[in-house]
Amino acid sequence: MKKTYRDSIFVNQRKIKSKHVKVGDYTYYSGYYHGGDFNDCVLYLDEIDDLIQETDELIIGKFCCIASGVKFIMGGNQGHDYDNVTAYPLEILKSDFAGYENKSPHAYRRKGDTIIGNDVWIGFESIIMPGVQIADGAVIASRSVVTKNVGPYEIWGGNPAKFIKKRFSQEKIDELLKLKWWNWDLQKILENMNTLLASAE
């Protein structure tokens, strides 16, 4: 695995443990303060979830920066159904678990795929709740708990995370979303580093 600044490591799709997690090129996880790799960021996706065909997925785009200690709350069975009389998953008291391969236990409800766009920066020890979508260019402040969708090039922070501001003017955001620099080939990106690392406004 190729290392970058301060042992930040590009996420290697081949080394991700769950088939329900997909990560784009050049996205890295800086796990040096928590002593683990990217798999430690993804909670509640294990072998049982891999057997379930309809398990929610975690999809992360290209060139994302994931800081140390970030957690994605996942799992097709995650999210206790508090509309029931009890939120306790009584199905676990059965001895027959065969039904888990085809259908999630009734005491749980799916939240939908968690989708992170391209060029997203997720700060130190942030928690991303199930089913959240974070759009291209967004920034999540350290130790935020993200419970709602985040728009493109927006900055959110807090617990629960709230909108703080847009990174740029709406006109510039529209330009950047049209540009989609993360889809360029690597040579073109390197040739345009001075532009990409300059102020956008």
User: What domain range is 200 assigned to?
Assistant: 169-201
Beta pairing, strands 71-73 & 42-43: parallel
C-alpha distances out from residue 130 to 72, 117, 134, 174, Å: 7, 15, 12, 28
Tell me whether residue 27 is in a domain: yes
pLDDT at 3 over 60: no
Tell me whether residue 95 is in a domain: no
More confident: 112 or 152: 152
Over range 28-42, report the average pLDDT. Answer: 87
Neighbours of 66 (CB within 10 A): 27
pLDDT at 1 over 50: no
Give how many domains the chain has, as a whole number.
Answer: 2
Residues forming a β-bridge with 133: 115
Residues 45 and 128 in one domain: yes
Report the percentage of the chain scoring pLDDT > 90: 56
pLDDT at 179 over 90: yes
Residues 200 and 117 in one domain: no
Residues 134 and 183 in one domain: no
| Residue 80 bears catalytic tag | yes
The domain that holds 33 is classified in CATH as 2.160.10.10
Residues 138 and 178 in one domain: no
Candidate list 20, 34, 80, 106, residue with the active-site label: 80
Distance, in Å, from the CA atom of 80 to the CA atom of 130, rounded to the nearest integer, reads 12
Tell me whether residue 97 is in a domain: no
Q: What is the pTM of this model?
A: 0.85
Residues 133 and 162 in one domain: yes
Question: What b-and-e string marks burial along 20-54, b requiring 16 or more CB atoms within 10 Å of the CB?
Answer: bbebbebbbbbbeebeebbeebbebbeeebeebee
Tell me whether residue 102 is in a domain: no
pLDDT at 79 over 90: no
